[in-house]
Amino acid sequence: MDIERIKADFPILEERVNSHRLIYLDNAATTQKPRAVINALIDYYRKMNSNIHRGLHTLAERSTEAFEESRAHVARFIGDVPTEEVIFTKGTTEALNLIAYSWGEQNIKAGDEIVITEMEHHANFVPWVMLAKRKNAIIKKIPITVCGHLDLSDIDTIITSKTKLVAFPHVSNVLGTINPVQQIAAKAKSVGATVVVDGAQAAPHMTIRPAEYGIDFYSFSAHKMLGPTGVGVLWGRRSVLQAMPPFNFGGEMIREVSFDRVTFNELPWKFEAGTPNIADVIAFDAALTYLESLGMEEIRTHEIMLTKYAIDRLTSLKGIEIQGPQESATRGGAVSFTDPSIHPHDISTFLDSRGIAIRAGHHCAQPLMRTLGKVATARASFYIYNTEADIDALYDALVEMRKYFGV
């Protein structure tokens, strides 16, 4: 990949932050947007702004067509799944909540078991905990090993005939661990459980094929893969989606309403109540085109290279502790680390003063933080416009920071 050419496509990378060139290493939180996506947003408002599916004028036709083309593009992007299996939400979190309310309310009963993991982001943790509370169901956890992988050694006692749902992340947002989706799905399916995978940290970085994993639901967010904020995707297996009741009511999800009878639209519109985030869904199409122009395999290769380089450089600093797997081939590009004597918030503030954006905190994964025995970590996460020079700048700033704090 020609990184310098890619960088030129991202106007924000020309910004100066605290008098320094911006080095953006907070891509697990959200990615920057290429000019093509920004232009798609402008074009929508300049040329086709209109509500979709209900207008009978030219602008409505344009926006409806562009909106549905974006859905078709997502369907192609994730392995040529049927377009009716692609539901637009406002993000991964809403997609997971949709499953918890719609599927969960219908299918979970008292005494049922819901299996999650110890490395869960709150979005794939709290909806299930609240569902279990509503239904008197039981939450069970798959623990992690000291190396930050899921510990599947006791999987047969965790996933049992009582298990009705298994939910886990494809890639951990803190540890970077890539989980064996098919292996866990096969175990879950052997007891008849439904499987939910949070793909927010995987979809931007590698080829994903949810329909081939033996799972039922897969969710991800546009804004972590060059697209706009406020757009998420819920992929669901058609037979499962068809059996589920709507999540919200009103707008395009309605087919016919009378005072005594309401019927609902077909998939995927059954789950898209109200006016959706039209402009951003349409601009997501441009983001997918951009990613495809680079190639998801190439993106993954670039990320493995950067992750390896970052782990090597950071661990050469005495005392720096990196969470999660150390080998880059089995992890994503989110590298969480701690310095023994400097709090992650102070690390983040110092790096920001040098124009380097990282994340510091518990990363919305407080149960995992407790397991790791940390209150917070610093996290550098990479994407297509990052280079080894960015990691060198991070390293140099960390050395400077230690001098500054006198440790």
Partner 1 sequence: MTPSLDDMYREIILDHYRSPRGKKPLPHADITTHGQNPSCGDEISLDVEMDHGVVKDVHVNCHGCAISVASGSMLAETVKGRSFDEVRRIAEIVRKMLKGEEVQIPDDLGDIDALKGVRQFPVRIKCALLAWVTLIEGMKNYEDGKHEITNTTITTEDDHETK
Task: Enumerate binding residues for partner 1 (CB under 8 A).
Answer: 18-19, 342-346, 349-350, 353, 360-362, 366, 369, 374-376, 404-406
List b or e across 9-47, with b for residues whose CB sees 16 or more CB atoms inside 10 angstroms. bbeebeeeeeeeebbbbbbbbbbbbbebbbebbebbeee
CB of 398 to partner 1, least distance (A): 15
Is residue 323 within 8 A of residue 28, CB to CB? The reply is: no
Q: How far is the CB of 93 from partner 1 (least distance, A)?
A: 17
Question: Given the structure tokens 């697209």, which residue do they identify?
Answer: 227
Report in angstroms how near the CB of residue 42 gets to partner 1 at its nearest: 30
Residue 364 designated active-site: yes
Instruction: Strands of 76-157 (E only): list them.
Output: 86-89, 113-117, 138-142
290 and 37 in contact (C-beta within 8 Å)?
yes
Q: Which residues pair with 342 in a beta bridge?
A: 339
Tokens 């124009």 belong to: 355
Query: Which residue lies nearer to partner 1 by CB, 30 or 207?
Result: 30
List, in order, residues 6 or more apart from 389 with CB less than 8 Å away.
none
Identity of residue 4 = E
Pairing state between β 163-169 and 113-117: parallel
Burial class (CB in 10 A: 0-12, 13-18, 19+), 79: middle
Q: How far is the CB of 118 from partner 1 (least distance, A)?
A: 17
**Which of residues 16 and 46 has its CB atom nearest to partner 1 in the complex?**
16
Smallest distance, partner 1 to C-beta of residue 306, A: 26
- The residue length of the chain stands at 407
Which C-beta is closer to partner 1: that of 19 or that of 263?
A: 19
Please say which residue, 70 or 172, places its beta carbon nearer to partner 1: 172
Catalytic residue (choose from 78, 184, 306, 364): 364
Phi, psi at 152, each rounded to 5°: -95, 10
Q: What angle do CA 179, 174, 298 make, to 5 degrees?
A: 60
Q: How far apart are CA 356 and CA 349, in angstroms?
A: 9
Which CB atom, from 39 or from 353, has the smaller least distance to partner 1?
Answer: 353
Phi, psi of 270 (to 5 degrees): -55, -30
Taking the chain, what is the end-to-end CA distance rounded to the nearest angstrom? 39
Measured from the CB atom, the residue of 109 and 345 that comes closer to partner 1 is 345
For the annotated catalytic residues, the residue numbers are 364
